[in-house]
Amino acid sequence: MKNLKDQEQGVESRFAEMTDNEIDTLIEDAENKNTKKATKWAVNVYEDWKNSKIGSGLIIPNLKDLSVQDINSILGKFVVEVRKKNGYPAKTLYLLVTGLLRGMRSHGVSNINFLNESDDRFLRFRQILDAQMKKLTSDGYGINVKQADPISVEQEEILWDKSVFGNHSFESLLHTVFFYNYKYFGLRGRDKHRNLQISQIQLEDDNGNYIEFRGKDNKTYNGGLRHRYIAPKSVRQYLEKDCQTLKSYQMYMNAIYEIDKSVSSPFYRRPVLSDGSVKFDHILGANRLGSLMKTICQKGELKGNFSNHSWKRTLATRLYQAGVSDQMIMDRTGHRSEKAVRTYKRPCGFYAKRCL
């Protein structure tokens, strides 16, 4: 609120007043949406299990009221009994438990971490969790994980040959920039594509043509306290001047600038039929972005298990087969650990001696 002197002088205060509710909202909005969703899922599973025990004689406390003894006994019992119709894989069970821990912290329980291996108070619980995870693995749950297939060089060429990619139509332009935003820059998930702004993609000429992606926040970088020494992701992909991919980017972005020249303009727009010219209008929805990979592969008649994860696996696999170091792959994919990026590596004869 302006004081009298500021009002008289017409000076805006350099300090914005914030209420406690506004500060709480700021904190809540900073939490990753998928993390909040996973926490809610875990808490709901616990509540369902708790309700199923009504009338059994076993008193189940609320999650926030669990004592050390309750965690070792009651929560240990939960870990052994919880299941879905076709069983929980060991990794899912562990994620369920981490979700419960976040749920407790969201209710102000900050002095308990039953997953901390140096805290012997919860040794019994961790022994139960470890034994159950081993049993689930031994029983075969989660062994056959269906992974998304990468796109081979030959399959990528097919998409160009069949005009799924290129500048032949508004749809082919959209398919092209969507694919190469994944392949070159390793953008994560539909939300990051949904929030991508036109100003984050730059077409430059610095002794060679390149497309540059300038990142903001993402799954592994949010600009908070833990990431204060980490720079936001920035990637340049150099291309030949007459490269079809570069031409497609130029045509697509020019069409977007015709309808919205603001730097915050969403990058992905819905193509519309016109009199032979390339036009786009409304923002492309999250559901359409989420299914765009399958649409591209169907139009190209590609065979395999393809999803939006295929793009990131394509990026990591091709760099891996070209002998690129883990650190350089991490710079492209955005992973923070070598262990994480290795899950995307998949040896494949198609990619031998080939790179992006």
Provide the residue-wise pLDDT of the chain in tens; the chain has 356 residues: 445 444 445 445 666 777 767 666 666 665 677 888 899 999 999 999 999 999 888 889 999 999 999 999 999 999 999 987 667 889 999 999 999 999 999 889 989 999 999 999 999 999 999 999 999 988 888 777 677 788 889 999 999 999 999 988 888 999 999 999 988 888 766 767 888 888 889 887 766 688 888 876 555 444 455 545 455 677 888 888 778 999 999 999 988 888 887 878 889 988 776 555 667 778 888 888 888 888 999 999 999 888 877 777 888 888 888 888 887 777 777 776 777 777 666 554 444 344 45
If one counts every other C-beta atom within 10 angstroms of the C-beta of residue 296, the result is 24
Question: Is 93 within 8 Å of 133 (Cβ atoms)?
Answer: yes
Query: How far is C-alpha 257 from the geometric centre of its chain's CA atoms?
Result: 27
The pLDDT score that the predictor gives to residue 228 is 53
**Which class does domain 153-351 fall in?**
mainly alpha
CA distance 173 to 135: 50
Residue spans of the domains in the chain: they are 20-138, 153-351
Helix extents (H) in the chain: 4-9, 20-30, 33-52, 68-70, 76-81, 90-106, 123-138, 153-161, 170-185, 189-194, 244-259, 286-299, 309-321, 326-333, 338-342
User: pTM of the entire structure?
Assistant: 0.67
pLDDT tens across 266-276, in order? 899 887 765 55
CA distance 117 to 113: 9
- Bridge partner residues of 234 (DSSP): 214
Task: Give per-residue burial for 47-78: e unless 16+ CB within 10 Å, then b.
Answer: eeebeeeeeeeeebeebeebeeebbbebbbbb
CA Rg value for the chain: 25
pLDDT tens across 194-245, in order? 888 888 898 877 666 888 888 765 554 444 555 454 556 778 888 887 789 9
